[in-house]
Amino acid sequence: MLDPNGDQVGKVRDVVIQNRGGSRPPRVKGLVVELFALRRIFFPMARVRSIDAHQVIINGIVNTRRFEVREGEMLAVDSLFDRTVARRDSDKPETIFDIAIQHTRGREWEVAEVALRESGRRPFSRGHVTIVDWSDLPEFIQDEAPRNAEQLAQRLSELKPADVARELHDMDATTRALVVRAMEDEHLAEALEELPEDEQVELIGTLDRERAADVLEEMDPDDAADLIAELDSEVAEDILEKMAPEDAKDVRTLLSYDAATAGGLMNPEPVILAADATVADALAAVRREEITPAMAALAFICRSPLDTPTGRYLGAVHIQRLLREPPSNLVAGLIDPDITPLTPTSNVAQVSRYFATYDLVCAPVVDAERRLLGAVTVDDVLDHILPNDWRGVQLDRLEAEVNDG
Protein backbone atom coordinates (compact mmCIF):
# COMPACT_ATOMS: atom_id res chain seq x y z
CA MET A 1 0.00 0.00 0.00
CA LEU A 2 1.42 3.35 -1.11
CA ASP A 3 0.64 6.90 -0.02
CA PRO A 4 0.00 9.66 -2.64
CA ASN A 5 3.77 10.36 -2.79
CA GLY A 6 4.52 6.77 -3.75
CA ASP A 7 6.07 5.82 -0.39
CA GLN A 8 5.20 2.37 0.94
CA VAL A 9 2.97 2.39 4.02
CA GLY A 10 2.68 -1.37 4.53
CA LYS A 11 1.32 -4.58 2.97
CA VAL A 12 -2.32 -5.51 2.45
CA ARG A 13 -3.01 -8.74 4.33
CA ASP A 14 -6.81 -9.06 4.23
CA VAL A 15 -10.12 -7.46 3.30
CA VAL A 16 -12.85 -6.61 5.86
CA ILE A 17 -16.32 -7.63 4.69
CA GLN A 18 -19.71 -6.92 6.25
CA ASN A 19 -22.62 -9.18 5.33
CA ARG A 20 -25.66 -6.96 4.62
CA GLY A 21 -28.03 -9.81 3.76
CA GLY A 22 -31.11 -9.64 1.57
CA SER A 23 -30.56 -8.57 -2.04
CA ARG A 24 -27.52 -6.38 -1.39
CA PRO A 25 -23.98 -7.66 -1.96
CA PRO A 26 -21.71 -7.87 1.11
CA ARG A 27 -20.06 -4.52 1.73
CA VAL A 28 -16.27 -4.18 1.63
CA LYS A 29 -15.48 -1.95 4.62
CA GLY A 30 -11.71 -1.71 4.40
CA LEU A 31 -8.32 -3.37 4.30
CA VAL A 32 -6.20 -5.03 6.96
CA VAL A 33 -2.73 -3.58 6.45
CA GLU A 34 0.46 -4.83 8.07
CA LEU A 35 2.86 -2.03 8.95
CA PHE A 36 6.60 -2.55 9.04
CA ALA A 37 6.42 -3.12 12.79
CA LEU A 38 4.18 -6.17 12.07
CA ARG A 39 1.19 -4.33 13.59
CA ARG A 40 -2.03 -4.90 11.66
CA ILE A 41 -4.32 -1.89 11.26
CA PHE A 42 -7.64 -1.09 9.57
CA PHE A 43 -7.76 1.26 6.56
CA PRO A 44 -11.24 2.32 5.31
CA MET A 45 -12.14 1.77 1.66
CA ALA A 46 -13.48 5.34 1.45
CA ARG A 47 -9.86 6.55 1.49
CA VAL A 48 -8.57 4.12 -1.12
CA ARG A 49 -7.84 6.02 -4.33
CA SER A 50 -7.02 3.12 -6.66
CA ILE A 51 -6.32 -0.61 -6.67
CA ASP A 52 -4.49 -2.72 -9.24
CA ALA A 53 -2.78 -6.12 -9.24
CA HIS A 54 0.39 -4.78 -7.62
CA GLN A 55 -0.48 -1.87 -5.36
CA VAL A 56 -3.10 0.12 -3.48
CA ILE A 57 -2.89 3.93 -3.57
CA ILE A 58 -4.46 5.76 -0.63
CA ASN A 59 -5.38 9.24 0.56
CA GLY A 60 -5.51 10.61 4.08
CA ILE A 61 -3.75 9.89 7.34
CA VAL A 62 -3.12 6.32 8.50
CA ASN A 63 -4.58 5.45 11.90
CA THR A 64 -2.08 3.03 13.49
CA ARG A 65 -4.47 1.68 16.13
CA ARG A 66 -4.28 -2.14 16.16
CA PHE A 67 -7.04 -3.79 14.09
CA GLU A 68 -9.73 -5.88 15.78
CA VAL A 69 -12.64 -7.60 14.00
CA ARG A 70 -15.97 -6.11 15.04
CA GLU A 71 -19.35 -7.79 15.37
CA GLY A 72 -20.90 -8.51 11.96
CA GLU A 73 -17.55 -8.36 10.13
CA MET A 74 -15.50 -11.15 8.57
CA LEU A 75 -12.09 -11.35 6.93
CA ALA A 76 -11.84 -12.62 3.37
CA VAL A 77 -8.59 -14.54 3.77
CA ASP A 78 -8.94 -15.69 7.38
CA SER A 79 -12.70 -16.36 7.43
CA LEU A 80 -13.80 -17.15 3.86
CA PHE A 81 -10.95 -18.68 1.90
CA ASP A 82 -11.02 -22.52 1.97
CA ARG A 83 -14.45 -22.53 3.68
CA THR A 84 -16.65 -25.38 2.48
CA VAL A 85 -19.96 -24.14 1.03
CA ALA A 86 -22.78 -25.34 -1.18
CA ARG A 87 -24.24 -23.32 -4.00
CA ARG A 88 -27.96 -22.62 -4.05
CA ASP A 89 -29.83 -25.59 -5.61
CA SER A 90 -26.70 -27.76 -5.42
CA ASP A 91 -25.62 -30.44 -2.93
CA LYS A 92 -22.02 -30.68 -4.16
CA PRO A 93 -19.59 -29.25 -1.58
CA GLU A 94 -17.12 -26.69 -2.86
CA THR A 95 -14.57 -24.42 -1.24
CA ILE A 96 -14.12 -20.68 -1.61
CA PHE A 97 -10.92 -20.08 -3.56
CA ASP A 98 -11.11 -16.30 -4.07
CA ILE A 99 -13.49 -13.34 -4.15
CA ALA A 100 -13.83 -10.39 -6.52
CA ILE A 101 -14.67 -6.92 -5.20
CA GLN A 102 -15.86 -3.97 -7.26
CA HIS A 103 -16.25 -0.20 -6.89
CA THR A 104 -19.89 0.90 -7.08
CA ARG A 105 -21.22 4.12 -8.58
CA GLY A 106 -21.18 5.63 -5.13
CA ARG A 107 -18.14 5.61 -2.88
CA GLU A 108 -18.54 2.01 -1.75
CA TRP A 109 -16.87 -1.27 -2.59
CA GLU A 110 -18.75 -4.55 -2.47
CA VAL A 111 -18.31 -8.26 -3.08
CA ALA A 112 -19.30 -9.09 -6.66
CA GLU A 113 -18.27 -12.68 -7.43
CA VAL A 114 -16.87 -15.74 -5.66
CA ALA A 115 -14.44 -18.29 -7.12
CA LEU A 116 -15.20 -21.90 -6.10
CA ARG A 117 -13.39 -25.17 -6.67
CA GLU A 118 -14.12 -28.80 -5.88
CA SER A 119 -13.99 -29.50 -2.15
CA GLY A 120 -11.25 -31.80 -0.84
CA ARG A 121 -8.40 -30.53 -3.00
CA ARG A 122 -5.21 -29.52 -1.30
CA PRO A 123 -4.66 -25.75 -0.86
CA PHE A 124 -3.02 -24.14 -3.90
CA SER A 125 -3.43 -27.31 -5.99
CA ARG A 126 -4.56 -26.98 -9.59
CA GLY A 127 -8.17 -27.66 -10.39
CA HIS A 128 -11.26 -26.36 -12.14
CA VAL A 129 -12.45 -23.05 -10.72
CA THR A 130 -16.06 -21.89 -11.10
CA ILE A 131 -16.98 -18.20 -10.85
CA VAL A 132 -20.41 -17.51 -9.37
CA ASP A 133 -22.33 -14.44 -8.28
CA TRP A 134 -22.17 -13.70 -4.54
CA SER A 135 -25.94 -14.29 -4.27
CA ASP A 136 -25.54 -17.94 -5.34
CA LEU A 137 -24.12 -18.71 -1.89
CA PRO A 138 -26.65 -18.95 0.96
CA GLU A 139 -23.71 -18.19 3.28
CA PHE A 140 -24.14 -14.53 2.38
CA ILE A 141 -27.89 -14.42 3.01
CA GLN A 142 -28.86 -13.67 6.61
CA ASP A 143 -31.87 -15.09 8.42
CA GLU A 144 -35.34 -13.57 8.14
CA ALA A 145 -35.29 -11.07 11.01
CA PRO A 146 -32.07 -9.29 10.07
CA ARG A 147 -33.11 -9.38 6.40
CA ASN A 148 -36.28 -7.45 7.25
CA ALA A 149 -34.13 -4.84 8.97
CA GLU A 150 -31.83 -4.83 5.94
CA GLN A 151 -34.77 -4.28 3.61
CA LEU A 152 -36.02 -1.41 5.75
CA ALA A 153 -32.53 0.09 5.90
CA GLN A 154 -32.31 -0.17 2.11
CA ARG A 155 -35.65 1.63 1.76
CA LEU A 156 -34.49 4.36 4.14
CA SER A 157 -31.33 4.87 2.09
CA GLU A 158 -33.52 6.15 -0.75
CA LEU A 159 -35.17 8.85 1.41
CA LYS A 160 -33.99 12.32 2.34
CA PRO A 161 -32.19 12.57 5.71
CA ALA A 162 -35.10 14.43 7.35
CA ASP A 163 -37.51 11.66 6.28
CA VAL A 164 -35.12 8.99 7.56
CA ALA A 165 -34.99 10.83 10.90
CA ARG A 166 -38.79 10.83 11.08
CA GLU A 167 -38.89 7.07 10.38
CA LEU A 168 -36.32 6.38 13.11
CA HIS A 169 -38.19 8.71 15.46
CA ASP A 170 -41.38 6.65 14.99
CA MET A 171 -39.82 3.18 15.42
CA ASP A 172 -39.95 1.14 18.61
CA ALA A 173 -36.58 0.67 20.32
CA THR A 174 -36.09 -2.93 19.16
CA THR A 175 -36.80 -2.22 15.50
CA ARG A 176 -34.72 0.95 15.56
CA ALA A 177 -31.73 -0.93 16.99
CA LEU A 178 -31.91 -3.56 14.22
CA VAL A 179 -32.34 -0.96 11.47
CA VAL A 180 -29.56 1.28 12.77
CA ARG A 181 -27.24 -1.71 12.85
CA ALA A 182 -28.07 -2.41 9.18
CA MET A 183 -27.74 1.18 7.95
CA GLU A 184 -24.64 2.48 6.22
CA ASP A 185 -22.56 4.82 8.41
CA GLU A 186 -23.00 7.74 6.01
CA HIS A 187 -26.81 7.42 5.86
CA LEU A 188 -27.07 7.07 9.62
CA ALA A 189 -24.86 10.14 10.13
CA GLU A 190 -27.05 12.24 7.83
CA ALA A 191 -30.20 11.14 9.68
CA LEU A 192 -28.61 11.78 13.09
CA GLU A 193 -28.02 15.40 12.13
CA GLU A 194 -31.79 15.78 11.64
CA LEU A 195 -32.83 14.30 15.00
CA PRO A 196 -33.33 16.26 18.25
CA GLU A 197 -30.24 16.31 20.48
CA ASP A 198 -31.70 13.98 23.12
CA GLU A 199 -32.52 11.38 20.46
CA GLN A 200 -29.05 11.75 18.94
CA VAL A 201 -27.51 10.97 22.31
CA GLU A 202 -29.88 8.04 22.87
CA LEU A 203 -29.18 6.55 19.45
CA ILE A 204 -25.40 6.91 19.73
CA GLY A 205 -25.65 5.23 23.12
CA THR A 206 -27.06 2.07 21.48
CA LEU A 207 -23.95 1.67 19.29
CA ASP A 208 -20.66 0.19 20.35
CA ARG A 209 -17.88 2.79 20.61
CA GLU A 210 -16.13 1.75 17.39
CA ARG A 211 -19.34 2.06 15.36
CA ALA A 212 -20.17 5.36 17.06
CA ALA A 213 -16.76 6.68 16.04
CA ASP A 214 -17.32 5.56 12.44
CA VAL A 215 -20.69 7.33 12.30
CA LEU A 216 -19.34 10.56 13.83
CA GLU A 217 -16.55 10.58 11.25
CA GLU A 218 -19.23 10.76 8.55
CA MET A 219 -20.98 13.75 10.17
CA ASP A 220 -20.04 17.37 9.50
CA PRO A 221 -17.39 18.25 12.10
CA ASP A 222 -19.54 20.99 13.67
CA ASP A 223 -22.51 18.62 14.05
CA ALA A 224 -20.24 15.90 15.43
CA ALA A 225 -18.81 18.37 17.96
CA ASP A 226 -22.32 19.39 19.08
CA LEU A 227 -23.20 15.73 19.65
CA ILE A 228 -19.93 14.88 21.40
CA ALA A 229 -20.49 17.84 23.74
CA GLU A 230 -23.77 16.25 24.91
CA LEU A 231 -22.19 12.91 25.84
CA ASP A 232 -20.70 11.87 29.15
CA SER A 233 -17.08 13.08 29.19
CA GLU A 234 -15.64 9.57 29.54
CA VAL A 235 -17.75 8.23 26.66
CA ALA A 236 -16.93 11.28 24.52
CA GLU A 237 -13.19 10.88 25.04
CA ASP A 238 -13.32 7.15 24.27
CA ILE A 239 -15.16 7.82 20.99
CA LEU A 240 -12.73 10.60 20.05
CA GLU A 241 -9.80 8.22 20.65
CA LYS A 242 -11.37 5.72 18.26
CA MET A 243 -12.03 8.26 15.49
CA ALA A 244 -9.56 8.82 12.65
CA PRO A 245 -6.91 11.31 13.88
CA GLU A 246 -7.74 14.08 11.40
CA ASP A 247 -11.49 13.83 12.11
CA ALA A 248 -10.94 13.81 15.86
CA LYS A 249 -8.63 16.81 15.55
CA ASP A 250 -11.34 18.84 13.79
CA VAL A 251 -13.90 17.96 16.47
CA ARG A 252 -11.51 18.75 19.33
CA THR A 253 -10.74 22.13 17.73
CA LEU A 254 -14.44 23.00 17.56
CA LEU A 255 -14.98 21.87 21.16
CA SER A 256 -12.37 24.39 22.27
CA TYR A 257 -14.76 27.22 21.28
CA ASP A 258 -18.01 28.21 22.92
CA ALA A 259 -20.84 26.46 21.03
CA ALA A 260 -22.68 29.77 20.60
CA THR A 261 -19.82 31.51 18.76
CA ALA A 262 -18.63 31.49 15.15
CA GLY A 263 -15.77 29.22 16.24
CA GLY A 264 -18.20 26.68 17.66
CA LEU A 265 -20.58 26.96 14.70
CA MET A 266 -18.04 26.76 11.89
CA ASN A 267 -17.13 23.81 9.69
CA PRO A 268 -13.31 23.49 9.47
CA GLU A 269 -13.49 21.96 5.98
CA PRO A 270 -14.68 24.73 3.60
CA VAL A 271 -13.69 24.98 -0.06
CA ILE A 272 -10.14 26.42 -0.05
CA LEU A 273 -8.13 27.35 -3.14
CA ALA A 274 -4.65 28.70 -3.79
CA ALA A 275 -4.17 32.16 -5.31
CA ASP A 276 -3.07 30.64 -8.62
CA ALA A 277 -6.17 28.42 -8.94
CA THR A 278 -8.36 28.87 -12.00
CA VAL A 279 -12.13 29.12 -12.33
CA ALA A 280 -12.10 25.53 -13.62
CA ASP A 281 -10.27 24.42 -10.46
CA ALA A 282 -12.81 26.23 -8.27
CA LEU A 283 -15.84 24.74 -10.01
CA ALA A 284 -14.35 21.25 -9.72
CA ALA A 285 -13.88 21.83 -5.98
CA VAL A 286 -17.40 23.10 -5.24
CA ARG A 287 -19.10 20.33 -7.22
CA ARG A 288 -17.70 17.59 -5.00
CA GLU A 289 -20.52 15.39 -3.69
CA GLU A 290 -19.66 15.89 -0.02
CA ILE A 291 -19.87 19.71 -0.26
CA THR A 292 -23.28 21.00 0.89
CA PRO A 293 -25.07 23.63 -1.25
CA ALA A 294 -24.54 26.30 1.43
CA MET A 295 -20.84 25.52 1.77
CA ALA A 296 -20.45 25.51 -2.03
CA ALA A 297 -21.76 29.08 -2.25
CA LEU A 298 -18.28 30.51 -1.53
CA ALA A 299 -14.75 29.42 -2.36
CA PHE A 300 -12.03 30.85 -0.10
CA ILE A 301 -8.66 31.97 -1.45
CA CYS A 302 -5.65 31.55 0.86
CA ARG A 303 -1.88 31.34 0.87
CA SER A 304 -0.32 27.94 1.57
CA PRO A 305 -0.92 25.82 3.61
CA LEU A 306 -4.44 25.23 2.37
CA ASP A 307 -5.62 23.10 5.33
CA THR A 308 -7.23 24.99 8.21
CA PRO A 309 -5.78 26.95 9.87
CA THR A 310 -4.49 28.09 6.50
CA GLY A 311 -1.89 30.59 5.45
CA ARG A 312 -3.01 34.19 5.05
CA TYR A 313 -6.66 34.55 4.04
CA LEU A 314 -7.00 36.58 0.81
CA GLY A 315 -10.75 36.64 0.20
CA ALA A 316 -13.82 34.78 -1.06
CA VAL A 317 -15.41 34.20 -4.46
CA HIS A 318 -19.14 33.60 -5.10
CA ILE A 319 -20.10 30.53 -7.09
CA GLN A 320 -22.40 32.71 -9.25
CA ARG A 321 -19.37 34.77 -10.27
CA LEU A 322 -17.42 31.61 -11.10
CA LEU A 323 -20.21 30.44 -13.41
CA ARG A 324 -20.00 33.67 -15.41
CA GLU A 325 -16.24 33.63 -15.98
CA PRO A 326 -14.01 31.80 -18.51
CA PRO A 327 -12.54 28.56 -17.04
CA SER A 328 -8.94 29.78 -17.47
CA ASN A 329 -9.35 32.99 -15.40
CA LEU A 330 -7.63 33.13 -12.01
CA VAL A 331 -9.98 33.13 -9.01
CA ALA A 332 -7.77 35.65 -7.19
CA GLY A 333 -9.02 38.31 -9.61
CA LEU A 334 -12.67 37.56 -8.75
CA ILE A 335 -12.57 38.12 -4.97
CA ASP A 336 -15.53 40.01 -3.51
CA PRO A 337 -13.97 42.91 -1.51
CA ASP A 338 -17.20 43.48 0.48
CA ILE A 339 -17.04 40.19 2.41
CA THR A 340 -15.61 40.89 5.86
CA PRO A 341 -14.56 37.75 7.78
CA LEU A 342 -16.00 36.79 11.14
CA THR A 343 -13.80 36.15 14.17
CA PRO A 344 -14.10 32.88 16.12
CA THR A 345 -15.41 34.78 19.17
CA SER A 346 -18.30 36.44 17.31
CA ASN A 347 -21.49 35.40 19.12
CA VAL A 348 -24.63 33.99 17.52
CA ALA A 349 -26.41 37.36 17.54
CA GLN A 350 -23.48 38.99 15.73
CA VAL A 351 -23.26 36.13 13.23
CA SER A 352 -27.00 36.22 12.47
CA ARG A 353 -26.88 40.01 11.93
CA TYR A 354 -23.87 39.46 9.65
CA PHE A 355 -25.83 37.06 7.42
CA ALA A 356 -28.82 39.40 7.30
CA THR A 357 -26.63 42.42 6.48
CA TYR A 358 -24.60 40.82 3.71
CA ASP A 359 -27.36 38.52 2.38
CA LEU A 360 -25.04 35.49 2.50
CA VAL A 361 -25.48 31.79 3.23
CA CYS A 362 -21.80 31.13 4.00
CA ALA A 363 -19.15 33.23 5.76
CA PRO A 364 -15.40 32.89 6.51
CA VAL A 365 -13.97 32.74 10.04
CA VAL A 366 -10.39 33.97 10.52
CA ASP A 367 -8.07 34.33 13.52
CA ALA A 368 -5.98 37.33 14.60
CA GLU A 369 -3.24 36.35 12.11
CA ARG A 370 -5.77 36.37 9.24
CA ARG A 371 -5.61 32.59 8.85
CA LEU A 372 -8.83 30.91 7.70
CA LEU A 373 -10.18 28.64 10.46
CA GLY A 374 -13.39 27.52 8.77
CA ALA A 375 -16.74 28.72 7.49
CA VAL A 376 -20.16 29.20 9.06
CA THR A 377 -23.29 28.41 7.03
CA VAL A 378 -26.72 29.89 7.64
CA ASP A 379 -28.24 26.50 8.53
CA ASP A 380 -25.76 26.19 11.43
CA VAL A 381 -26.91 29.58 12.72
CA LEU A 382 -30.58 28.62 12.45
CA ASP A 383 -29.91 25.46 14.48
CA HIS A 384 -28.83 27.68 17.39
CA ILE A 385 -31.43 30.42 16.98
CA LEU A 386 -34.44 28.10 16.85
CA PRO A 387 -35.80 26.55 20.09
CA ASN A 388 -33.89 23.51 21.38
CA ASP A 389 -36.81 21.17 20.58
CA TRP A 390 -37.48 22.49 17.08
CA ARG A 391 -36.35 19.26 15.44
CA GLY A 392 -38.73 17.22 17.58
CA VAL A 393 -41.58 19.64 16.81
CA GLN A 394 -40.76 19.42 13.10
CA LEU A 395 -40.78 15.60 13.21
CA ASP A 396 -44.14 15.58 14.98
CA ARG A 397 -45.53 18.02 12.41
CA LEU A 398 -44.29 15.86 9.55
CA GLU A 399 -45.87 12.82 11.15
CA ALA A 400 -49.20 14.67 11.51
CA GLU A 401 -49.07 15.70 7.84
CA VAL A 402 -48.42 12.11 6.78
CA ASN A 403 -51.27 10.81 8.94
CA ASP A 404 -53.61 13.46 7.48
CA GLY A 405 -52.78 12.15 4.03
Whether 161 and 196 map to the same domain: the answer is: yes
Q: List, for residues 41-78, the tens digit of each pLDDT value.
A: 888 887 888 898 889 988 877 877 788 887 668 899 98
No. of H helices and E strands in the chain?
A: 15, 15
The CATH number linked to 224 is 1.25.60.10
Same domain, 134 and 25: yes
Q: Is 42 within a domain?
A: yes
Domain enclosing residue 313, as ranges: 272-384
Whether 18 contacts 29, CB under 8 Å: yes
| Same domain assignment for residues 83 and 100 | yes
Cβ(103)–Cβ(92) under 8 Å?
Answer: no
Domain boundary among 123, 140, 157: 140
Whether residues 175 and 84 fall in one domain: no
- Specify the pLDDT at position 402: 45
Together in a domain, 183 and 277: no
Residues 183 and 236 in one domain: yes
pLDDT exceeding 70 applies to what percent of the chain?
89
Indicate the number of domains in the chain. Answer: 3
361 or 141, which is more confident: 361
Q: Is residue 66 in a domain? A: yes
Average pLDDT over residues 190-207: 88
Is the pTM higher than 0.75?
no
| 397 domain residue, yes or no | no
Alpha helices for 171-287 (secondary structure H): 173-182, 185-192, 197-205, 209-218, 221-230, 233-242, 245-255, 262-265, 279-286
CATH code (residue 314) = 3.10.580.10
Q: Is the pLDDT of residue 375 over 90?
A: yes
List beta partners, residue 365.
Answer: 342, 374
Chosen domain end from 204, 230, 256: 256
Residues 136 and 148 in one domain: no
pLDDT tens sequence across 127-138: 678 899 988 887
Judge if 59 and 169 occupy the same domain: no
